[in-house]
Amino acid sequence: MSPKKFYAYVLLQWLIFFVLKIWFFNYQIFSNPGVQSVVYWAIVAAVAAALVRRLGVINFLESFYTIFLWVVVGGFLDLIITSKFTGLGIFEKKDFLVGFGVLAASVFLFHKKRHLHIRHALHEKAHAKH
């Protein structure tokens, strides 16, 4: 994957979560705030998993770099842009901060793991000889 494509995914990820944060933190969508939090976290996990799978086969170091970049860039852009729509109080909300943890866990658990890809390729190669 080229750096240009990778950073395009960083921007796409932030744009998706930008809209999601404005929607979930400015409006009471569900009557139960707990349900709203769980739905927000589930959407964050699903979107993060879908986007990190688009990055292709990556190793653990690359997944940690992706997590670091998505959290740092996301937090910085949230401070600069998202807080204009939601206010700085968003940074005090547990749901917002847990969302970054869910994002990190989703990227770590659902990225296409290089070691598994290599193991499957070796397994196929070994069975192709027979």
The C-alpha atoms of residue 122 and residue 40 are separated, in whole angstroms, by 39
Residue range 27-53: mean pLDDT, rounded: 92
Residue 57: what pLDDT? 82
| Residue 130 banded pLDDT, cuts 50, 70, 90 | low
Nearest-angstrom CA–CA distance, 68 and 49:
15
- Could you give the 3-state DSSP secondary structure of residue 58? strand
pLDDT at 47: 95
Task: Report the chain's mean pLDDT, rounded to a whole number.
Answer: 89
What span, in angstroms and rounded, lies between the C-alpha atoms of 35 and 13?
A: 23
Q: What is the DSSP letter of 57?
A: E
Which DSSP helix (H) or strand (E) runs through 129? none
Which helix or strand (DSSP H or E) is residue 121 part of? Answer: helix 114-128
pLDDT at residue 82, rounded to an integer: 93
Q: What is the pLDDT of residues 58-113, one digit of tens each?
A: 888 888 999 999 999 999 999 999 999 999 999 999 999 999 999 999 999 988 77
Distance CA 79, CA 2 (A): 28
Pairing state between β 57-58 and 112-113: parallel
What pLDDT is recorded for position 116?
A: 64
The model's pTM: 0.84
Do 103 and 70 meet the contact criterion of CB atoms below 8 Å apart?
A: yes
